[in-house]
Amino acid sequence: MDIELMQRVYPFFLQAAWVTIQLSVLTAILGLTCGALGAAMRLSRLAVFRFLGAAYVSVFRGTPALIQLFILYFGGPQVGIQLDAFEAGVIGLGVNVGAYMTETIRGAIISIPKGQREAARTLGLSRWQTFYNAILPQAARLMVRPLGVNLNMLIKSTALVAAISVVELTYTAQRYIGSTYKPFEMFLLAGLLYMIIIYATGRAVAWLDRRVQIN
């Protein structure tokens, strides 16, 4: 193993890791937004929204994220959507992970016993007041861990955007293999940096989870 080479290219990999982190953060924000909207639709009183929510989830969970990225980035220009690779990566992955988060958020909300809703409605609270004051604070606590799992998945799936040539960690590794012919070292280095990012995120999620638990 060529440790010296790894030390030499290491700074460039750090830069690439920073791109991976930016991708992850923006994707997570978009994913959470889509997830919240998707869950709201899935739980709507109106059948048309429920249908749209269900359709969103089954389309984006039912096809490979890579195909979704390709359609957006390579197919987009044909229908007038011009995005640079980074933008396409964030939007493609964000909408994709949003479908998973929709189910996570919805699952947490419907797991709150119906007696909670009844108790709040009985006091005279509206549907929205009931949701916001009685249901959501309880459901939010249940969401932290499974959303953390979604986040872990998301960070790893940012590697997919190498395929549309975003210069993030995986793409950078591939590029250095082209000039050094050392795939073992290059992928190992990329893998290590992914692990550090994911480990730190996991710790942050665990900390948040402990903080929000009731007693």
Partner 1 sequence: MTDTEHFVEIKHAQKSFGKLEVLKDISLNVARGQIVAIIGPSGSGKSTLLRAINDLDALTGGEIWLDGVQVNRDLPYRQYEKHINQMRQDIGMVFQHFNLFPHMTARDNVTMAPKLLKGLSKAEADALAEEQLDKVGMLERIDYYPSQLSGGQKQRVAIARALAMKPKLMLFDEATSALDPELVDEVNQVMKKLAEEHMTMIIVTHEMDFAASVCDRVLFMDKGVVVEEGPPSVVFKNPTKDRTREFLRKHLAGAK
Chain positions contacting partner 1, by CB under 8 A = 113, 115-116, 118-127, 129, 133-134, 137-138, 141, 214-215
Nearest distance from C-beta of residue 127 to partner 1, angstroms:
7
Backbone torsions φ then ψ of 11, nearest 5 degrees:
-60, -35
What is the torsional sign of CA 152, 32, 209, 105? negative
What is the torsional sign of CA 152, 154, 157, 162? negative
The two structure tokens encoding residue 197: 């990012």
Return the amino acid letter for 40: A
Query: Which lies closer to partner 1 via its Cβ, residue 58 or residue 111?
Result: 111
Query: Which lies closer to partner 1 via its Cβ, residue 18 or residue 132?
Result: 132
Nearest distance from C-beta of residue 183 to partner 1, angstroms:
51
Nearest distance from C-beta of residue 134 to partner 1, angstroms:
6
Nearest distance from C-beta of residue 106 to partner 1, angstroms:
20
Task: Please provide the distance, in angstroms rounded to a whole number, between the alpha carbons at the two ends of the chain.
Answer: 50
Burial (CB count <10 Å: 0-12, 13-18, 19+), residue 214: exposed
Query: Which lies closer to partner 1 via its Cβ, residue 58 or residue 129?
Result: 129
Backbone torsions φ then ψ of 212, nearest 5 degrees:
-90, -10
Nearest distance from C-beta of residue 125 to partner 1, angstroms:
6
Report which DSSP code applies to 112.
S
Nearest distance from C-beta of residue 141 to partner 1, angstroms:
8
Query: Which lies closer to partner 1 via its Cβ, residue 29 or residue 123?
Result: 123
Half-sphere exposure of 47 (CA within 13 A, CB side): 0
Q: How many Cβ atoms from other residues are within 10 Å of residue 180's Cβ?
A: 15
Query: Which lies closer to partner 1 via its Cβ, residue 80 or residue 115?
Result: 115
The residues near 207 (Cβ < 8 Å, ≥ 6 apart) are none
Three-class DSSP category at 213: coil
Query: Which lies closer to partner 1 via its Cβ, residue 82 or residue 114?
Result: 114
